[in-house]
Structure formats: C-alpha cells, structure tokens
Amino acid sequence: MARFNENFLELKESYLFSEVAKRVSAFKEKYPDRDVIRLGIGDVTLPLGKTVVQAMHAAADEMSSAETFRGYGPEQGYDFLRQAIAGHYRTFGVELDEDEIFVSDGAKSDTGNITDLFSRDNTVLIPDPVYPVYVDTNTMNGRNIVYINGTAENDFLPMPDSSVQADLIYICSPNNPTGACYNRSQLREWVDYALENDAVILFDSAYESFVSDDSLPHSIYEIDGAKKCAVEFCSLSKTAGFTGTRCGYTIVPKAITSVSSDGTEMSLNKMWNRRQTTKFNGVPYVVQRAAAAVFSDEGMKEAREMTACYMKNARIIADTMEELGIRYTGGINSPYIWFECPFGMDSWKFFDFMLEKAGVVGTPGAGFGKNGNNWFRLTAFNNAENTTEAMRRFRDLF
C-alpha cells in the first residue's frame, strides 16, 4: 500500500491565499451585485512595460522560424539573462559569477524547492509573521521549526537569539507581510550568527525593488561574508509585473560548502544545479527574453515607473491609517501596509467584517503566523481609483 506523506496532516487545510479566494468567491456568490475591491493577494495590475512586450514579440517571432527556433534551453537559464542579472547585482556593488545565478519560474517555487538540498534533521528558524510558504514547505518535509517573534515592539524585525540553535534561517526583507526592512547592521548580525552556527540563510529579496531608502540593502550579498552562508531568491513578479509571466532568479554562491558524515566535500551550488537539471526544464525562451529586457535601461525605467505608481497607492492607504490613528508599518520600502485590526477584532473576523461591510478584501495577519492574529495586510497593487474608493469605504467603517 502506498503510504502518503503524513506531514501534510500538519498543514492548515488550504494555503492562505486559496482560503482568501474561497471566502471571496462564496461572498460573490451570495451577493453577485456587490462590487468587491481586492487588496488581498499581492498581485500586480499594471501591464508589462513596452520594452518587455517588444522583446517578447521579437522572441515569439524567432520561435516561428526554423533558423531561430529554440527547443529545450539550459535549465539554469540562458546566458543573456544570467549576464543581465549579474549586471543588476553590480548596481548594488555585488559581483556574482554567472554560474551562481539560476533562472527560475519565481521565488515562491524556489524557496520551497531549496528544501530538497537540506537534511530533514535540520532545525529551521522562521520569523513570525512571514510569507507562509517557508512554514508550509518545511512542514511538508517534517522538519523541526522554531520561530522568532516579530512584534510591534521590535518593529517586526526580530534579531538573532544566541539561545536558539538553528541550521536554516529564513529572512524576507523587505518583509512580506509587514513591510519592515532590515538595515545593514541588522543583516550584519544575521550573517555573523549564520557563520558562527554553520547555518544557511535563505534570503527572500522579492521586494528589493521597493526599497526607496538608499541606506538600506537590496541584497544580502551587500554584507561581507554573506556569500559563505546565504542563498538569495528574487523575482520579477513585483519588480516588473511578472506574476502571470513567471520569472525569478536564485543565487547559490559557490562558497557555501559543507562536509558530509563520511567526510565528502559538498557544494550547495553543485547540488542545486543537480536538482534543477533533474527536476526543472527551465523558463520559456520568450519569457527569458522579456526578463532580460527588464534589466535594460529602458526596461528598468518602465519598472521604476510602475513601482512609483504602486507606491502612490501605498501612500493613500498609509495616510488613511494615520488619519484614523491606526497603528501600522510598511508602505515605504514595501508595497504592503500592515496594520492593527480595529475594534479589537482578530484578523479573520476583521477580514469577514470588512468584506461584508465595505466589499474590500485584505489578507488576515493570522495567515502569516500567530503574531499576525490581530494584524491585517493591504496591498498597494490595485489601481489608484480602486485604492481611493477602498479607503473611502474603510473610513466609513468608523
């Protein structure tokens, strides 16, 4: 008899955003005429940039002719894209070898897939609240998870605790869901902690393009020593509107090594390459051409314009919180606004209340961990008109 992976019994019945979608569908079925504004899942609304679309068209044309048609591509990504990504890192003062860069279909998949490379015996340190994929994927593997608390008292930026022993450490900065962003000296502490404990940091930088404060790091590799202990995941989903187009990149430095129980030297970079060549066939050529166009001067300009649009929405939401005297974080170096639930409600109760009374969808903080029980997340990814209308309805709740 095939025995199923019983670790799945430890998971919540559905993934956070599936649960939100389910509740919204039920609401729409009940009230088909109600207009619902979605500020829940962080899904972009602006179209792809002109330069990106032109590159996609040109690549599609190449696929239509036998001379330029492409079949299987390199699982790690085409050289032209890996070079463009390396160029992007150079703008942060970070030098990467191209074979440390792996093109993927996004940070969500890779932050989950990377768990293949680590022993099930490893203890995983996860900040709470945080993006639920880290907890769910390690739960599927049956790993021991320890949590560190992000609270209003530490500005949702928990720091290493020498009494906690961990082998793998997840950090998301700018943080999803709180919008909090570690500064250089805080990341320095995390890198030192990882190096002292022979731990590996899994650094999710999916929101790096929203960092507007020049003193804040975009990449963990801006910290000396990080290449010995950190894998970094990034994505074009939020940077350039690729949530539906799908393209991200994972950096696995060659300096991250370990010795097996029988004394064999192991390289995380080689292992990831082995994993990807076995389980992944690469990102479509057309999408990689589009992704490379994001890193051109014109493509970056368009991406920055999109970010600026979303950040205006973030300002509209943050201003509403200030006006109503609601405690919040985020919205400056991040497209998320994280606020304390009003009326003493817990976050799922507030979710139902806001949907019912205002027709506005957000994401309950409880979905990101227990420290989110009384907090709530709104995204800046809708358009200005809907965001303004959502905040008008929000004010009317008071």
Contact residues: ligand MLT, CB under 6 A: 41-43, 108, 131, 176, 237
Q: For residues 223 and 332, which CB has a smaller minimum distance to ligand MLT in the complex?
A: 332
One-letter identity of residue 86: A
Q: How far is the CB of 231 from ligand MLT (least distance, A)?
A: 18
Contact present, 378 and 39 (Cβ < 8 Å): yes
List the one residue out of 300, 333, 301, 327 whose CA is nearest residue 314.
333
- Closest distance of CB 61 from ligand MLT, Å: 31
Indicate the residue among 22 and 57 with the shorter CB distance to ligand MLT. Answer: 22
Q: How far is CA 158 from CA 136, 145, 165, 302, 328, in A?
A: 20, 16, 15, 34, 17
**Range list of β-strands (E), 36-189:** 37-38, 101-104, 123-128, 144-149, 168-172
Nearer to ligand MLT by Cβ, of 134 and 221: the residue is 134
Cis preceding linkage at 335, omega within 30: no
Q: Which residue is nearest to ligand MLT (CB)?
A: 42
Q: Are 216 and 371 in contact (CB under 8 A)?
A: no
Report the residue count for the chain.
Answer: 398
CB of 43 to ligand MLT, least distance (A): 6
42 or 365: CB nearest ligand MLT: 42
Residue whose CB is less far from ligand MLT, 51 or 176 = 176
Q: Least Å distance between CB 1 and ligand MLT?
A: 35
Is the link from the previous residue into 160 a cis peptide, with omega within 30 of 0?
Answer: no
Query: Containing H/E element for 55?
Result: helix 50-63
CB closer to ligand MLT, 193 vs 351: 351
Q: Which is nearer to ligand MLT, 115 or 176 (CB)?
A: 176
Q: Which is nearer to ligand MLT, 41 or 216 (CB)?
A: 41
Rounded to the nearest whole angstrom, what is the least distance from the CB of residue 336 to ligand MLT in the complex?
A: 8
Minimum distance between the CB of residue 368 and ligand MLT, rounded to whole angstroms?
8
Buried b or exposed e, range 246-280, using 16+ CB within 10 angstroms:
bbbbbbbbeebeeeeeeeeeebbbebbbebbeeeb
User: In whole angstroms, how close is the CB of 134 to ligand MLT at the nearest point?
Assistant: 12
- Strands (DSSP E) contained in the chain are 37-38, 101-104, 123-128, 144-149, 168-172, 200-204, 230-235, 248-251, 257-259, 265-267, 328-330, 336-340, 360-361, 363-364, 375-379
CB of 331 to ligand MLT, least distance (A): 15
Minimum Å gap between C-beta 24 and ligand MLT is 14
d(CA 343, CA 264): 58
Q: Which two tokens stand for residue 206?
A: 């999916």
Under 8 Å between Cβ of 322 and 346? no
Q: C-alpha angle 181/187/189, rounded to 5°?
A: 135
Provide the minimum distance between the beta carbon of 39 and ligand MLT in the complex, in angstroms, as a whole number.
Answer: 10
* Rounded Cα–Cα distance for residues 293 and 57 (Å): 12
> Of 75 and 204, which CB lies nearer to ligand MLT in the complex structure?
204
Closer to ligand MLT by CB, 51 or 379: give it: 379
Query: Longest C-alpha distance within the chain, in Å?
Result: 66
